[in-house]
Amino acid sequence: MDNDSPPPNASGGEAASDGARAASGGDSASGDARAEGSGGAEGSGGAAGSGGAEGSGEAAGGGEPAFSGGPEDGADGGGREPDGGGGAGGEADPGENQDENPDPDPDQDQDLGEAGVESGEHPLALRLEQLILGAPRRYTPFQAARTAGVSMDLASRFWRAMGFADIGQAKALTEADVLALRRLAGLVEAGLLSESMAIQVARSTGQTTARLADWQTDSFLEGLTEPPEPGMTRAEVAYPLVELLLPELEEFLIYVWRRQVAAATSRVVQSDDEEAVDRRLAVGFADLVGFTRLTRRLEEEELGELVEAFETTAADQVAAYGGRLIKTLGDEVLFVADDPGTAAEIGIRLIETMTGDETMPALRVGMAFGTVTTRMGDVFGTTVNLASRLTSIAPRDAVLVDGDFAEALGAAGEAPLSEADVDATAEKYRFALQPMWRRPVRGLGVVEPWLLSRREG
């Protein structure tokens, strides 16, 4: 979709708005034009934050306004503070002339739809947008920021963080956009989040839901909107299908999100204070061998099916044995586990599963254990870099680990560091470790990798 589209459609923003609504209060946006909110959103936490935003004052911010227009749009002072009433510093604003009361009448909503059609937007796209967002287009960015009691500058930073394209001063925002601004600003006003943290929340939510929305639209809906009868178009099938699926998918999204928050919170509570951000984790990469050659040999559809099968298999194995999938990169996945024993089981299971599938290319896995920095659901640091380097030098269908990983396995009784450690009375080890030649690794000096395998017998 092009960058001229209104913000909620720019990059999966409808999911971001709905996800933010569910996460921060759960109530549907106010206004007569709003559709009734889904049951799963009722009773969710965060109402105090949004309540504090109702009477929130101006929130200061730096940088250029994202949604600024020309002076004729009342954006000559795009970063100026709104006064919360009809005027903005006494300067003329056409938004005030158009909408002293921002609630439009039905004829105005119809005019907005007609204006969208005249501007070249598909009429069905406009109907789908209103169905998904639950409200018609009502505000320009300046009007939305003023109605929410948020400075245009801070609103612009929130919108950009959520991944919404700049739209000048087009009337393309809804009550949900106003409510989202109020909630984020309310969390800052209440002291629950700093301004920078609120922007991080907006960015992480926007990035995650944008990818989810793209996947669901491109793969899920596209496959279900095949015309059931000759003569019907995909567009004719899309609207009733979205109407049926939307509340179910929203409920499911909220359920999965709550489950993931519960699991993440439990991990943080059980860890030491020093490990809240910088923690010792086992980090693993799994990489398909020869993927670049495959991209030249396979058709696009075949390549897509292979990548999907690999990501699905990897995600299932990582989750089943207690790890966490951080991200997928087409031919590579990144995962973490709280201890090397869990990571070792995942790495070997991945090799065993892929080796048994004749349609999949060879796989190589590299893992390291050490301090990891976590930010916005991702992991960083020397341990991550080392795991990536070990993956690049691992043999086909094999797992390489670093020295700290091997020592941790030995200390936990999961694997002997040498066969001399094994005696007849010892418990059976799960894994075997074989030292490899020391070698230089770019950017990390000389390392001694260990070949990890499942112990026979």
Per-residue H/E/C for the chain: CCCCCCHHHHCCHHHHHHHHHHHHCCCCCCCCCCCCCCHHHCCCCCHHHHHHHCCCCCCCCCCCCCCCCCHHHCCCCCCCCCCCCCCECCECCHHHHHCCCCCCCHHHHHHHHHHHHHCCCCHHHHHHHHHHHCCCCCECHHHHHHHHCCCHHHHHHHHHHHCCCCCCCCCCECHHHHHHHHHHHHHHHCCCCCHHHHHHHHHHHHHHHHHHHHHHHHHHHHHHCCCCCCCCCHHHHHHHHHHHHHHHHHHHHHHHHHHHHHHHHHHHHHCCHHHCCEEEEEEEEEEECCHHHHHHHCCHHHHHHHHHHHHHHHHHHHHHCCCEEEEECCCEEEEEECCHHHHHHHHHHHHHHHHCCCCCCCEEEEEEEEEEEEECCEEECHHHHHHHHHHHHCCCCEEEECHHHHHHHHHCCCCCCCHHHCCCCCCCCCEEEEECCCEEECCCEEECCEEEEECCC
* Locus of tokens 């005019």: 111
Positions of the chain with pLDDT lower than 50, given as ranges: 1-109, 111-118, 424-425
Query: What is the pLDDT at residue 23?
Result: 38
User: CA angle, 212 as apex, 388 and 316 as ends, to 5°?
Assistant: 55
Sequence-ordered list of residues with C-beta below 8 angstroms from that of 121, at least 6 positions apart, any chain: none
Q: What is the pTM of this model?
A: 0.56
**Per-residue pLDDT reduced to its tens digit, 222-262:** 666 666 667 777 777 778 888 888 899 899 999 999 998 89
User: pLDDT at position 397, please?
Assistant: 93
Question: For residue 75, which of 130, 185, 155 has the smallest C-alpha distance?
Answer: 155
274: which residues sit within 8 A by CB, 6+ positions away?
none
At 32-43, the pLDDT tens digits run 333 333 333 333
Q: Between β-strands 363-375 and 398-401, what pairing exists: parallel, antiparallel or unpaired?
A: parallel
- pLDDT at residue 286, as a whole number: 95
Q: Which residue has the tokens 């869990």?
A: 342
